[in-house]
Amino acid sequence: MNLDKLLETGDRCIFLEPPTCTANCPVHLEIIEFISEIEKGDFQKAYKLMEKKLPFHKIIGRICDHPCESVCVRNEAGGAISISELEKSVLEYGAAKPKKVWPVPKKKGKIAVVGSGLSGLTAAVDLDKKGYEIVLYEKTDRLGGRLWNHIGDSLKEKTLSEELKQVEDKGISIQFNRLIDENSLSDLLSEYDAVYLGASDWTAPLEIDKITFQVGELNLFAGGAMVTQNDSVIFSASSGRRAALSIERFLSKVSLTDSRDREGIFETPLKQDVSETDVLPKVEKQASVYSQEEAIQEAKRCIKCQCRKCMDGCNHLRKYDISPYAYIRQINHSERIILGTHYANKMINSCTECGLCQEECFLDISMKDVIQETRESMVERNKMPVSAHDFALKDMAFSNSSRFSLVRKQPSKEASKDLFYYPLISFSDYVKGLYHGTGKTEYLFYPGCQLPASYPDDIKGIYEYLVGHMKGDVGIYLGCCGAPADWAGRQDLMGENVAAIKKVWEEMERPTFILACSSCIRVFEKYLPEIKVRSLWDIYLEKGLPNKNWIKSPQTLSVHDACGTRENSELQESIRKIAESLGYTIEEMKYSKEKTKCCGYGGLVYYANREQADGFVAERIQESPHDILVYCTMCKDLFVSGGKRTYHLLDLIYPKDNEDGAVKKMPTLSERHQNRSLVKRSLLKEIWREDVDEPVPDDYQLVIPETVRQNMEDRYILLEDVQAVIKNAQEIRKRFYNPDSGDYLASLKIEHVTFWVQYAQEDDKFLIKSVYSHRMEIVEE
Partner 1 sequence: MYQEKEDYQSWICDKCQKELELSKVKVRYLEGEFEVELLNCPTCHQVFVNESLALGKMLEVEQGLEDK
> Which positions lie near ligand SF4, rule CB under 6 A?
13-15, 19-21, 31-32, 72-74, 81, 83, 302-305, 307-310, 314, 316-317, 323-325, 351-357, 360-361, 363, 365, 367-368, 598
Confirm if 75 and 245 have CB atoms less than 8 A apart.
no
Binding mask 761-780 for partner 1 (x = CB under 8 A): ---------x-xxxxxxxxx
**Of the two residues 345 and 568, which places its CB atom closer to partner 1 in the complex?**
345
Answer with the entry of ligand SF4, partner 1, none that 740 interacts with (C-beta below 5 to 8 A by kind).
partner 1
**Pairing status of strand 110-114 against strand 194-197:** parallel
Told to check if 710 binds partner 1 by CB under 8 A, we report: no
**Of the two residues 358 and 677, which places its CB atom closer to ligand SF4 in the complex?**
358
Told to check if 319 binds partner 1 by CB under 8 A, we report: no
Told to check if 423 binds partner 1 by CB under 8 A, we report: no
Answer with the entry of partner 1, ligand SF4, none that 745 interacts with (C-beta below 5 to 8 A by kind).
partner 1
Task: Name which of residues 713 to 732 contact partner 1 (CB under 8 A).
Answer: 732
Answer with the entry of ligand SF4, partner 1, none that 650 interacts with (C-beta below 5 to 8 A by kind).
none
- State the distance between the two ends of the chain, measured CA to CA, in whole angstroms: 42
DSSP class of residue 256?
A: S
**Of the two residues 269 and 742, which places its CB atom closer to partner 1 in the complex?**
742
**Of the two residues 159 and 754, which places its CB atom closer to partner 1 in the complex?**
754
**Of the two residues 165 and 774, which places its CB atom closer to partner 1 in the complex?**
774
**Of the two residues 25 and 114, which places its CB atom closer to ligand SF4 in the complex?**
25
Confirm if 486 and 526 have CB atoms less than 8 A apart.
yes
Of 491, 747, 536, whose CA–CA distance to 633 is shortest? Answer: 536
Told to check if 745 binds partner 1 by CB under 8 A, we report: yes
Task: Name which of residues 345 to 364 contact partner 1 (CB under 8 A).
Answer: 345-346
Length of the chain: 781
Q: Residue 78 CB, nearest distance to ligand SF4 (Å)?
A: 10
Q: Residue 753 CB, nearest distance to partner 1 (Å)?
A: 11
- Those residues whose C-beta lies under 8 Å from the C-beta of residue 463, and which sit 6 or more positions away, are 445, 474, 476, 683, 687
Q: Residue 663 CB, nearest distance to ligand SF4 (Å)?
A: 27
Told to check if 744 binds partner 1 by CB under 8 A, we report: yes
Beta bridge partners, 513, equal 444, 533
Told to check if 657 binds partner 1 by CB under 8 A, we report: no
CA–CA dist 597, 587 (Å, integer): 16
| Residue ranges of E strands in 285-418 | 406-408
- Those residues whose C-beta lies under 8 Å from the C-beta of residue 572, and which sit 6 or more positions away, are 559, 561, 565, 593
SS3 for 101? coil
Distances (CA, A) of 586 to 169, 225, 572: 74, 63, 12
Answer with the entry of partner 1, ligand SF4, none that 612 interacts with (C-beta below 5 to 8 A by kind).
none
Q: Residue 617 CB, nearest distance to ligand SF4 (Å)?
A: 13
Residue from 157, 181, 741, 762 in contact with partner 1 (CB under 8 A) = 741
Of 127, 108, 111, whose CA–CA distance to 195 is shortest? Answer: 111
**Of the two residues 740 and 751, which places its CB atom closer to partner 1 in the complex?**
740
Q: Residue 280 CB, nearest distance to ligand SF4 (Å)?
A: 11
- DSSP track, 633-669: HHHHHHHHHTT--EEEHHHHHSPPTT--GGGPPPPPH
HSE, side-chain direction, 13 A CA sphere, residue 185: 20
Q: Residue 557 CB, nearest distance to ligand SF4 (Å)?
A: 24
Neighbour-count burial of 699, counting CB atoms closer than 10 A to its CB (0-12 exposed, 13-18 middle, 19+ buried): middle
Neighbour-count burial of 657, counting CB atoms closer than 10 A to its CB (0-12 exposed, 13-18 middle, 19+ buried): exposed
HSE, side-chain direction, 13 A CA sphere, residue 278: 6
Task: Name which of residues 380 to 399 contact partner 1 (CB under 8 A).
Answer: 385, 387-388
Told to check if 747 binds partner 1 by CB under 8 A, we report: yes
Positions that interact with partner 1 (CB under 8 A): 340-343, 345-346, 385, 387-388, 732-741, 744-745, 747, 754, 756, 758, 770, 772-781
